[in-house]
C-alpha cells in the first residue's frame, strides 16, 4: 500500500524556523472546517467549544484516513495533518484572553480526499455517535491563504503576543501590513500546556 509523503512545499509551510519570520505563499488546500467562538474566561486549552470542535475534526479526519486505507481499488495511507485555527480578533486584540473571538477550526486533507468521502465519513460517525451538532456543522471546502508571514512559536500561550510583535515589525520593514484572519497551526496539542515544549506556527496574511 502506498503512503503519501508530504511535498517539499507543505513541509516548508508546516515546519518553519523559530529564529526568524519567513514570507511564504500558501496555495489552495482542502480542509474540514468548523466555526465557533471562544467563551468568556477561556482559551483553547480549556474552552469546551474548542475541545468539541477539535474532537470532531479528529474523528472525521481519522475516519477518512481509514476509509482511504481500506479502499479496495486504490488504497492509500497517509499521516493526518495538525489542527489549525483561523482567528478573528475583536477591537481589543487581546491575544491572551480572546474574549468573544470567533474562530474557524480546520484540518487539511490530501488531494485524493473528496467531498463524497467526507460526507460518507460524517454519516458513518453519526451512526456511531448520534446526531452531534458539531458533526452536522462541519464542512469540506478549499481555502487559499496566499501571501503570508509566519514563524514557529516555541513557548507558552501567554507569550504569543511577543511573537506577534516580531511578525508585525518584520512585515513593516518589508513594506507589508498584516491582514486577517490571524492563523495558528498547533504542532503541539493545544489541550496541554508545557511552556518549554509548546510549538505553534503563527501565520498572518499580508498585503502591500
- Identify the domain containing residue 42 by its residue range: 8-207
Q: Is 137 a member of any domain? A: yes
What are 18-66's pLDDT values in tens digits? 999 999 999 999 999 999 988 877 777 778 888 999 999 999 999 999 9
Give how far Cα 162 sits from Cα of 165, 187, 202, Å.
5, 19, 11
Q: Is 66 a member of any domain? A: yes
What does residue 156 show for φ and ψ, rounded to 5 degrees? -75, 165
How many domains is the chain built from?
1
Q: What is the mean pLDDT of the chain?
A: 91
* CATH classification of the domain holding 101: 3.20.80.10
Q: Is 1 a member of any domain? A: no
Please tell me the pTM assigned to this model: 0.93
Give how far Cα 155 sits from Cα of 107, 171, 193, 198, Å.
22, 22, 9, 5
Amino acid at each position: 500500500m502506498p503512503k503519501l509523503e508530504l511535498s517539499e512545499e507543505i513541509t516548508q509551510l508546516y515546519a518553519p524556523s523559530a529564529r526568524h519570520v519567513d514570507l511564504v505563499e500558501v496555495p489552495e488546500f482542502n480542509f474540514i472546517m468548523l466555526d465557533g467562538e471562544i467563551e468568556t474566561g477561556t482559551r483553547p486549552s480549556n474552552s469546551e467549544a474548542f475541545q468539541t470542535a477539535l474532537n470532531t475534526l479528529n474523528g472525521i479526519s481519522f475516519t477518512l484516513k481509514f476509509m482511504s486505507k481500506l479502499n479496495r481499488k486504490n488504497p492509500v495511507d497517509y499521516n493526518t495533518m495538525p489542527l489549525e485555527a483561523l482567528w478573528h480578533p475583536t477591537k481589543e486584540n487581546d491575544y491572551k484572553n480572546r474574549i468573544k473571538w470567533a474562530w474557524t477550526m480546520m484540518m487539511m486533507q490530501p488531494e485524493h480526499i473528496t467531498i463524497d468521502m467526507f460526507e460518507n465519513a460524517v454519516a458513518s460517525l453519526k451512526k456511531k455517535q448520534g446526531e452531534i451538532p458539531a458533526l452536522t456543522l462541519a464542512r469540506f471546502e478549499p481555502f487559499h491563504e496566499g501571501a503570508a508571514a509566519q514563524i514557529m512559536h516555541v513557548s507558552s500561550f501567554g507569550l504569543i503576543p511577543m511573537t506577534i510583535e516580531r511578525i508585525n515589525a518584520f512585515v513593516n520593514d518589508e513594506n507589508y501590513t498584516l491582514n486577517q484572519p490571524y492563523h495558528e497551526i498547533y504542532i503541539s496539542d493545544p489541550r496541554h500546556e508545557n511552556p518549554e515544549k509548546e510549538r505553534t506556527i503563527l501565520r498572518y496574511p499580508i498585503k502591500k
